[in-house]
Structure 1
Amino acid sequence: MPKLIVLEGEQTIYQARDTQQQLASALHEAKEIQLDLSQVQDADTAFMQILIWLQNEGRRLEKPVHFIQPSSCLRNIVAALGLQDVLPSDFGAQS
């Protein structure tokens, strides 16, 4: 059964260390991760780096990582940074 993790509110450099540790621990404990991003209200490039790291580490460990319902904030950041080819299609900019 996948491990569901819900992230909320602000996900910036100020939360980056705790968020990365939480996700690293979950990735090593679970066979699959579902990361609900629907409640993220603010984020920065530190958080984008964590998402890319999580995706790549999941691939390396052969443990699926699914990003669930990225908030409009996250979709807009992905578009602004040109990360559409790096993160899953769920991150397409909101129209």
Structure 2
Amino acid sequence: MAVIVEVSETGTIQLPPQVLDAIRPNTRFRIEVSDENRLILFPVGSGLPFWATATPQERAERWHQWVQSHKNGPNLPDEALRRENIYD
């Protein structure tokens, strides 16, 4: 995939959605500049787990993504959630 991106005056790189879809959230990269003025991104591990570095908003978003990925799973019957049945 080849796309054109632009660097703003403040140094921000805006990536198109098709590029962002290929990258997992919270992925960190090491950037190298080659002799041909190319930026090369190498993924690096953070060393810390996601929960230790994520903001509350990022954790909530990840939770919602996880919940949405389990829509077609088996559900608990209503009887399982009744107080008198919880202790059986």
Band of TM-score, shorter chain: under 0.3
Normalized per residue, the structure richer in strand is 1
Structure with higher RCO (Cα < 8 A, 6+ apart): 1
After TM superposition, the score normalised by the length of structure 2 is 0.23
After TM superposition, the score normalised by the length of structure 1 is 0.22
